[in-house]
Amino acid sequence: MKPNTQLRSAVRGFYAWIGSMVILMVAPIFALQLAESASTAARVAAVVVGAGGMVPWMWIVYLIIRRGDEFVLRMHLVALACAFAGAILLLATLSWMVTARFIEHPDLRFVMGGALVIWVIALFGAKFYFDRQR
């Protein structure tokens, strides 16, 4: 592959990632507006738009991981395992806090955002760990 072709491919991938992030951020806004409607069809559309807004971002992240070398694959595997454990710990903690009546039921959009933040922190931690191992 020529360097110019590689650059164009990388730029297209970057713009696809940015576009997927925009969809990830905008979809909940539209879904909230649809969810406030009295119409059943609009509320169904709210669920589809709200949940479906994550699919392009997840697909782009999958493609980024798939195109990586062994180092990238290993780094993402460790980060996803740590993020999964952190998200489960977050959910369990919130569940027990609700059960003990310390807090009201949290908005799941913030819980999802918290899980994404945990994943990003785990990804940076895994990258730092594997960079030190080289």
Out of 9, 26, 53, pick the residue that ends a domain.
53
> Given this model, what pLDDT does residue 17 score?
87
Average pLDDT, integer, range 23-31: 92
Residue 49 shares a structural domain with residue 72: no
Q: Do 85 and 121 touch, CB atoms closer than 8 A? A: no
Identity (one letter) of the amino acid at 134?
A: R
* Residue 122 reports pLDDT greater than 90: yes
Q: Which domain holds residue 10?
A: 1-53
Residue 1 pLDDT more than 70? no
CB environment 9-39: b (16+ within 10 A), e (fewer): eeeeeeebbeebeebbeebbeebeebbeeee
Instruction: Please tell me the predicted confidence (pLDDT) of residue 123.
Output: 92
Same domain, 84 and 48: no
Question: 48 and 73 share a domain?
Answer: no
Region 12-22: what's the mean pLDDT? Answer: 90
Model confidence at 133: pLDDT above 70 = yes
- The number of domains in the chain is 2
Residues 47 and 97 in one domain: no
Burial pattern 97-134, b for ≥16 Cβ within 10 A else e, equals eeeeeeeeeeeeeeeeebbeebbeebbeebbeeeeeee
Per residue in 61-116, pLDDT tens? 898 888 888 888 889 899 999 999 999 999 999 999 999 999 999 988 888 889 98
Whether 59 is in a domain gets the answer no
